[in-house]
Structure 1
Amino acid sequence: MSAARAGVPVIETRGLGKVYSPGTEAEVVALRGVDLRIAHGDFVAIMGPSGSGKSTLMNLIGCLDTPSSGAYFCDGVDVSTLDPEALAGLRRDKIGFVFQGFHLLPRMSALENVAMPLGYARVPPAERVERAQQALESVGLGARASHRPNELSGGQQQRVAIARALINRPPVLLADEPTGALDSRTGEEILALFKRLRDDGHTVVLITHDADVAAHADRTFVMRDGELHEEPGPGMGETGPETARP
């Protein structure tokens, strides 16, 4: 039985903490006992100002850093039990990353940029092309497959980056300030795309400092001084819905 059918959260943290330079004068407590549960198909925003801990939490969720305390389960897997090779495989297969900067290779076409992660997964070339074309069509860019990044608008480049993030069919799409480099209208189009991806069963975690951007998500959490608080939404009580608690 899959984790989704078994009701296992795709992201779960229990008492997650992160301390930099512990025991020194430079010690910084970045995260304090963060409990978070995100189900398959959720669209969640995590917001907060610079220095609040949201980037640290994003790096832990994305398996780009390790916690000082607590536990993190990604799609039911305790990441602390994984060796470096298995951890790299989990990042590749479970998490798709979208950043403010598009990070597209300028000499590659949109199709080649999207297909690139499949090479690391040793997918045969013909299948790479087919899957990359399907991914571009899913974000509305099927007709732009042969275009290089400098022939695409900012919004189109971000769509290519989203298609690349989806190419390994990960259960989690982790988006760090994905509209930060876009004008407001194009940003709205990208947020609408995230909603469509959620409706198709993807889990979207949006990291932002912008309350207007966060308002597009179904649930919003705020980082304050390393602590995570869920913002009450429609139909929620002071403590939030039952799914927000570990």
Structure 2
Amino acid sequence: MSAAAVDVAGAAVPVIQTRGLGKVYAEGTPAEVVALRDVDMRIGAGELVSIMGPSGSGKSTLMNLIGCLDTPSSGQYLCDGVDIATLDAEQRAQLRLERIGFVFQGFNLLGRMSALENVAMPMGYAGIPRPQRLQRAREALAAVGLVERADHRPSELSGGQQQRVAIARALVNRPSILLADEPTGALDSRTGEEILALFKRLQDEGQTVVLITHDPGVAAHCDRVLEMHDGRLHEQPRRPEGSA
């Protein structure tokens, strides 16, 4: 997990910063859809933040932009202080590989591969030698409490165990940002609580975690809640210290 960057004045640079971010699909046509409107956001290193909203609110669009899976129509996005607009497609892909870990609701594990192989897979794209990939994959599985299941395939794991493998895979390249899209949506309530506790532990270890959710119960586990409505972002008041 990377250390926080600092600017020339010595102040911490936000891991995620957007200024007037907007996204329009089919712009200038009768099918035009304004998905994001003038979004300003700052997320610092080591924060646990939720972006909450109903379907169609713009939260998935925002996740795609901060995950460098899409580019904005207007405004600015800085990831670890890097202006994404200055990067070409190959550079954005490299930044995504090195600095952003994704956890998907459907796990997206390959059934023919073991848990260890699934976790090691992203490092193959980074050109890391196989022995080092396997060692780091075991360390990532150990970090989520699943190293004893390293040789099991996804079909041999419970839903919660599969989600832990997916989290280990997201962490294996030691990203500065961990983006989790509805990370408990496919899990029962008890297993979901275990996964949320794991995110909290990762935060305590210095990881920046952003949860995309429609569930207020999930958002309640986070330090800050950013709400999306009709493409606009609104921040809920911070919880008082020591509150549940």
Q: TM-score, normalised by structure 1?
A: 0.93
Counterparts of residues 197-236 of structure 1 (less than 5 Å): 197-235=202-240
Q: CA offset at residue 57 of structure 1? A: 0.4
Cα drift, residue 174 of structure 1: 0.2
Residue 127 (structure 2) pairs with residue 122 (structure 1) = yes
4+ residue runs of structure 1 moved beyond 2 angstroms?
Answer: 2-6, 233-236
Residue 113 (structure 1) aligned with residue 118 (structure 2): yes
Instruction: Look up the equivalent residue of 1:4 and give its one-letter code.
Output: A
Name the amino acid aligned to 1:226.
G
Contact between 2:14 and 2:42, CA under 8 Å: does it hold in 1? yes
Contact 1:3 1:76 (C-alpha < 8 Å) held by counterparts: no
Residues matched between the structures, number? 235
1:144 matched to which residue of 2? 149
AA aligned to 2:101 is G
Among 26, 29, 36, the residue aligned to 1:24: 29
How far apart, in 1, do the equivalents of 2:69 and 2:157 lie? 30
RMSD between aligned alpha carbons?
A: 1.1
| 1:120-179 residue CA offsets vs partner (Å, 9 max, x unmatched) | 111011101110000000000011111111110000000000000000000000000010
Q: How does 1:44-193 map to 2 (within 5 A)?
A: 44-193=49-198
Greater mean alpha carbon deviation, residues 49-58 or residues 22-31 = 22-31
TM-superposed CA distance for 1:4, in Å, is: 3.2
Structure 1, unmatched stretches of 5+, are: 237-246
Contact 1:34 1:227 in 2 (8 A): yes
Counterpart of 1:93, as a letter, is E
Deviations 1:180-234 (A, max 9, x none): 0000000000000000000011000000000011100110010011100000123
Secondary structure of 2:175's counterpart equals coil
Paired residue for 2:43?
Answer: 38
How many Å apart are 1:85 and its aligned residue? 1.1
Q: Which amino acid aligns with 1:211?
A: P
TM-score scaled by length of structure 2 = 0.94
